């Protein structure tokens, strides 16, 4: 498997972020930003949940995750940040509203199922030109998700459904810090 294949395999399989066929990604009818700004899906999870850019521009735009379960919210400021966050905590979707202890249990369970997680992550990072030693800590990643879920970024990235009601936030309660 080549370096590019390793990166694609990590993101599509382990991080559940598949951007290999952008033309097939389409948001559910009526899902939009409250502000009226553009919401552009660029990837999806296996469940059909959507990764979307906010507004106009390139890969530096905020990234919002829209779940088919009626949750949505900002998860990164730009694609480079999303890549780093997913390299560190690809299980982040199981984190909403959980305590530090519960998050640790989810991470431990996830990592137990992937004994070579760190090797696969490091190979994917290197394939993308990222030094694995420079990746943020797991605690920093969870803190970043919580930070983005409130304040001006969250307000600018508020997603509403077809009836105009806001979708539930991804991180309803801020995770405890370790």
Per 3-state DSSP, the chain is made up of helix, strand and coil in percentages (nearest 5) of 40, 15, 40
Q: What is the pLDDT of residue 34?
A: 95
| Predicted TM-score (pTM) of this structure | 0.87
> DSSP string covering 82-132, please?
HHHHHHH-TTGGG-TT--HHHHHHHHHHHHHH-TTHHHHHHHHHHHTT--G
What are the pLDDT tens digits along the chain (178 aa)? 566 888 999 999 899 998 887 667 678 788 999 999 999 999 999 888 999 999 999 889 999 999 988 899 999 999 999 999 999 999 888 765 655 666 777 888 888 999 899 999 999 999 999 999 999 998 888 888 878 888 889 999 999 998 889 999 887 644 443 4
Cβ(38)–Cβ(55) below 8 Å: yes
Q: What is the pLDDT of residue 172?
A: 62
Compute φ and ψ for 42, nearest 5 degrees.
-125, -10
Strand order, beta sheet including 168-169: 39-44, 50-54, 62-66, 71-77, 168-169
Cβ(18)–Cβ(49) below 8 Å: no
Q: What is the pLDDT of residue 178?
A: 40
């Amino acid at each position: 498997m080549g370096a590019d294949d390793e990166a694609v395999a990590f993101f599509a399989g382990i991080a559940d972020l598949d951007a290999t066929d952008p033309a097939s990604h389409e948001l559910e009818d009526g899902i939009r930003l409250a502000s009226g700004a553009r919401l552009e899906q660029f990837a999806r999870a296996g469940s059909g949940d959507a990764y979307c850019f906010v507004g106009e521009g390139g890969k530096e735009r905020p990234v919002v995750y829209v779940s088919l379960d009626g949750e949505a919210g900002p998860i990164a400021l730009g694609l480079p940040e999303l890549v780093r966050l997913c390299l560190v905590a690809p299980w982040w979707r199981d984190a909403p509203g959980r305590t530090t202890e519960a998050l640790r249990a989810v991470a431990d369970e996830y990592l137990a199922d992937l004994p070579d997680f760190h090797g696969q992550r490091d190979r994917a990072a290197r394939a993308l030109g990222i030094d694995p030693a420079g990746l943020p800590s797991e605690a920093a990643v969870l803190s970043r998700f919580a930070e983005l879920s409130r304040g001006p970024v969250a307000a600018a990235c508020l997603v509403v459904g077809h009836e105009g009601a806001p979708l539930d936030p991804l991180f309803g309660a801020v995770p405890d810090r370790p």
